[in-house]
Amino acid sequence: MNICVIGTGYVGLVSGTCFSEVGNNVTCIDLDEGKIERLKQGIIPIYEPGLKELVLKNIEEGRLHFSTKLEEGMKDAEVVIIAVGTPQAPSGEANLEYVENVAVSIGENLNGYKVIVTKSTVPVGTGQRVKSIISEYSHGKHEFDVASNPEFLREGTAVYDTMNMDRAVIGVESKRAEEVLTKLHEPFNTEIVVTNVETSEMIKYASNAFLATKISFINEIANLSEHFGADVTKVAEGMGLDKRIGKHFLQAGIGYGGSCFPKDTSALIHIGREVGEDLTILKAVEDVNRQQRMKIADKVNEVYPDLKGKKLAVLGLAFKPNTDDMRYAPSIDLIPYFTNKGAEVVAFDPIAYENAAKEIEGLQYSTDLYETIKDSDAVVILTEWDEVKKMELSKVKELMKEPIIIDGRNIFNLEEMKASGFYYASIGRPT
Ligand code: UGA
């Protein structure tokens, strides 16, 4: 099948590449000439394990192409996928400017029947808006269908998630579009949920909002557990074995960050407000999440009420491991908080340090874990990087001024930490 993907961000690049990997002929379009030139040489703008290899392989095998010219990508395409960004506007709603601009260009370049798919996360009703823009700008000269096919990939495991998707959701308005999109997903050997466009758009928001709810829920239980000497990791294990609850996304910590959960929960609350529905659960989810990242600051304050002259080694800058993404990363709030209180902060991150330096003024960082830890008065863990999980605790203890670890990600075993002689405070577990 010939496919045109518009937008080479996370969603566009990963899904375009994976669609080419299963045998389609894919052209990825982006306005950014420099980015397209680099992609043609296999230089990837984001850090995502396995993506570079897959891009290079499919370029070499002639199935994956990059261009700045939409007409080139659309000419022979049966499916055109919109995968441009929908950033959060100051009001909390999704900004649809890029999606609407792309719809205009698609209308202008339409040269025959195509299925126009929205993959970007868009408010319910956007499919109809895209349809009316394309109709207007194509002057009714050609038939087309609009469809919704949301993406459920996670950063850091994006290629794996796409190649092994739990399900594909296809929102369509015609049998013809359903057949095209079903065929497109056949190689993924996955369950396909066929709905109308609006339901599919809702499934995407509801899925992210539900996962965010699970995280805020377990964080509340974590905070409560601390008062009673209960261990939230065991609570989650005990709950998660019940199939109705499920074990995933019950890891307590310093709350969710990233480009999706904060943006999508906020957009859904906004969508509700517009139609007079007050989404009280989601508002509470946001409140819990906002407060949760400061729990780690409270735990540092408990040990050092005065941070002046103290050196803190912050381990992890990115919002989660295996990404250089700093969007809504807890480190953005916490590092300035510590430095404003007079602490000297040095941070470790294997990848996100350059992006972090753009977000955090005067950031001191190192890519050497043990160098970061040397002479520190406390280690503060913000991201569960493998390097941090596997650090040699005896060496850490030797290097530190005081053996104090404040862990926002619950990565160490309590007994082990006790035996190693650390003061170890984590989230929702006995200290
Ligand atoms: C999320 C969803 O998981 C994807 O299914 C979805 O496609 C994506 O958003 C999107 O809409 O594009 P992502 O933001 O990449 O993916 O990352 P997650 O692995 O879901 O983690 C999000 C945040 O939740 C991170 O800050 C992570 O630390 C936190 N988290 C996750 C927890 O605090 N506890 C958990 O148990 C799980």
Of 147, 176, 195, the last residue of a domain is 195
Residues 266 and 333 in one domain: no
Residues 212 and 174 in one domain: no
Distance in Å, CA 66 to ligand 1 centroid: 29
Looking at the domain assignment, is residue 200 inside a domain? no
Distance in Å, CA 154 to ligand 1 centroid: 6
- Counting from 1 in the atom list of ligand 1, the atom nearest the Cα of 212 is 24
Residues 34 and 127 in one domain: yes
Residues 303 and 415 in one domain: yes
Residues 239 and 275 in one domain: yes
The predicted-structure confidence for 63-110, as pLDDT tens digits, reads as follows 999 999 999 999 999 999 999 999 888 888 889 999 999 999 999 999
Q: Is the pLDDT of residue 312 over 90?
A: yes
Looking at the domain assignment, is residue 430 inside a domain? no
Residues 6+ apart with CB under 8 A from 426: 406, 407, 408, 409, 410, 412, 414
Residues 183 and 325 in one domain: no
Distance in Å, CA 82 to ligand 1 centroid: 22
Residue with CA closest to ligand 1 atom 19:
154
Residues 392 and 405 in one domain: yes
Residues 7 and 125 in one domain: yes
Of 84, 261, 295, 296, the one to substitute when testing ligand 1's pocket (max ligand atoms within 8 A of C-beta) is 261
Where does ligand 1 bind, in terms of residues with CB under 6 Å? Answer: 121, 151-155, 208, 211, 215, 249-251, 253, 256-258, 260-261, 319-320
Q: What is the sign, positive or negative, of the torsion defined by CA atoms of 292, 297, 301, 306? A: negative
Question: Residue 405 in 3-state DSSP?
Answer: strand
Of 162, 223, 256, the one to substitute when testing ligand 1's pocket (max ligand atoms within 8 A of C-beta) is 256
Asked if the interface predicted TM-score (ipTM) of this complex is over 0.90, the answer is yes
Residues 131 and 186 in one domain: yes
User: Can you give the pLDDT at residue 287?
Assistant: 98
Residue with CA closest to ligand 1 atom 16:
154
Residues 181 and 320 in one domain: no
Residues 221 and 349 in one domain: no
User: Can you give the pLDDT at residue 56?
Assistant: 96
Residue 18 is among the residues annotated as catalytic for this protein: no
For the chain, the domain total comes to 3
Of 175, 195, 215, the last residue of a domain is 195
Of 121, 164, 211, the one to substitute when testing ligand 1's pocket (max ligand atoms within 8 A of C-beta) is 211
| pLDDT level of residue 249 (50, 70, 90 thresholds) | very high
Give the domain extent around 320. Answer: 295-425
Residues 59 and 129 in one domain: yes
User: Can you give the pLDDT at residue 92?
Assistant: 82
Of 274, 292, 310, the last residue of a domain is 292
Following DSSP, what letter does each residue of 297-361 receive, concatenated? Answer: HHHHHHH-S--TT-EEEEE--SSSTT----TT-HHHHHHHHHHHTT-EEEEE-SSTHHHHHHHST
pTM: 0.95
User: Can you give the pLDDT at residue 259?
Assistant: 87
Which runs of E-coded beta strand occur in 7-160? 25-29, 64-67, 79-82, 114-118, 144-148
Residue with CA closest to ligand 1 atom 34:
251
CA distance 318 to 155: 11
Q: Is the pLDDT of residue 6 over 90?
A: yes
